[in-house]
Structure 1
């Protein structure tokens, strides 16, 4: 993953799904599991923020549309 590039919501979700699959495998070491888990928590938080911002935009647009009518 490149830190210079901003990941899209979909890319973050794909990475999160990959992490979940990796954590389901028995072959992952404890140290690697902790790193994956931490990254998963970070991604989950980032996705949550993106969704909340999108919800606010939709609500704002709906309010503006209602005011225009």
Structure 2
């Protein structure tokens, strides 16, 4: 998981797309499929965290903007 820590959201999404493509199109062994699936789950969790952090930041900025107007 640490290897993807410094990657952007877009890079993580591209990796996820590649994993899905591999699982859909390539003949992958069960063991390789499980490793790809695990990596996909990890990337998904990282992307969800990035999105949640961004959402919280937007909400904070919106609240601050409303407070500044009053």
Same fold (TM over 0.5): yes
Deviation of the 1:25 alpha carbon: 2.1
2:59 is aligned with 1:59:
yes
* Distance in 2 separating the partners of 1:61 and 1:46: 23
Q: Tell whether the 8 Å contact from 2:23 to 2:33 is kept in structure 1 after alignment.
A: yes
In structure 2, list runs of 5 or more residues that go unmatched: none
Change (3 A) 1:43 1:5: closer
Report the 3-state secondary structure (helix = DSSP H, G, I; strand = E; otherwise coil) of the residue aligned with 1:6. coil
TM-score by length of 2: 0.90
* Distance in 2 separating the partners of 1:6 and 1:14: 14
Following superposition, which runs of at least 4 residues in structure 1 exceed 2 angstroms of deviation? none
Tell me what 2:12 maps to. 12
* Distance in 2 separating the partners of 1:44 and 1:9: 10
Q: Tell whether the 8 Å contact from 2:16 to 2:40 is kept in structure 1 after alignment.
A: yes
CA RMSD of aligned residues (A): 1.5
